[in-house]
Structure 1
């Protein structure tokens, strides 16, 4: 049976009351592919647009997104995050966003990490869309999770 579906086939929040609190960590990634001319314009402008500093704004948006996950994803538990770090690098025409989230709790932080990376990527799109609508957000995925019933690392999906 699916954990988020009750016997009546209706969605429900999972009861995590009996789980032991552990240190939970999750890391997720999103990639933003820019057209070559947009990437060149951003490099020349020090990653500034008329809306402001793209990477700095995306970083803050990623943290805010991770913290807001329970308001965005209906069945997510509210968590007291201990840490949220968004790392943004530029590789040629691509912006690579990695969001790592940690808490000591009874449920995992994968959704917070995925939401943080996604919101940061959407912010890059928003700040650059005046230059082009041919921007592609791709490869939003979980890279790592630990502290729960099983740990997962990228590519394997295994403990």
Structure 2
């Protein structure tokens, strides 16, 4: 396999000449679960604790730490983070809304927050989602996308 590394090396985008702009970004994603798992989540009957509160905190932490996990992301002065869930019969929708006033966008922060919130849900329910072979035939994270991006100039 041939690879090519630019002779100038890896660089973050230079945003020093850009002006600060208020930015808001919303991302959503879903986790498909067994109906019985959804019931246990809503009744707060899981051994690991309150699934959605834990996932909400994890999503907030992920937003704040995005530049530590994704190499080319700039550290941003996050002003607001909201992580919410909508529960359906066989899935949970996670939504992360992030606000910052800065020189560059906040899409990666919003996507990271929703992704980690969904991963946290999976982690907290994996014991009851497994089948007898240790597999997860009914569990799936899907549909992660940006649903709104606002740039106020």
TM-score bucket (shorter structure): 0.7 to 0.9
CA contact (8 A) 2:41 2:50 kept: no
Does residue 145 (structure 1) correspond to residue 149 (structure 2)? The answer is yes
Higher relative contact order (CA 8 A, sep 6+): 2
Task: Quote how far apart the aligned CAs of 1:26 are.
Answer: 0.5
Larger Rg: 2
The residue that corresponds to 2:19 in the other structure is 20
Does residue 129 (structure 1) correspond to residue 122 (structure 2)? The answer is no
Q: Deviations over 1:74-125 (max 9, x none)?
A: 0000011000000111011111000000011101110000000000000000
TM-score scaled to structure 2, two decimals?
Answer: 0.86
Task: Quote how far apart the aligned CAs of 1:53 are.
Answer: 0.1
Does residue 89 (structure 1) correspond to residue 86 (structure 2)? The answer is yes
SS in 1 for 2:16: coil
Task: Quote how far apart the aligned CAs of 1:9 are.
Answer: 6.9
Task: Quote how far apart the aligned CAs of 1:7 are.
Answer: 5.8
Q: Which runs of 4+ in 1 moved over 4 A?
A: none
CA contact (8 A) 2:40 2:46 kept: no
Closer, same or farther in 2 for the Cα pair 1:11/1:148, shift >3 Å?
farther
SS in 2 for 1:18: coil
The residue that corresponds to 1:38 in the other structure is 37
TM-score scaled to structure 1, two decimals?
Answer: 0.83
Gaps spanning 5+ residues in structure 2: where?
A: 131-135
The residue that corresponds to 2:98 in the other structure is 101
Return the alpha-carbon distance in structure 2 between the equivalents of residues 76 and 7 of structure 1: 19
Q: Deviations over 1:31-54 (max 9, x none)?
A: 0100233223334xx133100000
Q: How do 1:44-55 residues align onto structure 2 when only pairs under 5 Å count?
A: 46-55=43-52
Does residue 65 (structure 1) correspond to residue 23 (structure 2)? The answer is no
How many residue pairs get matched? 142
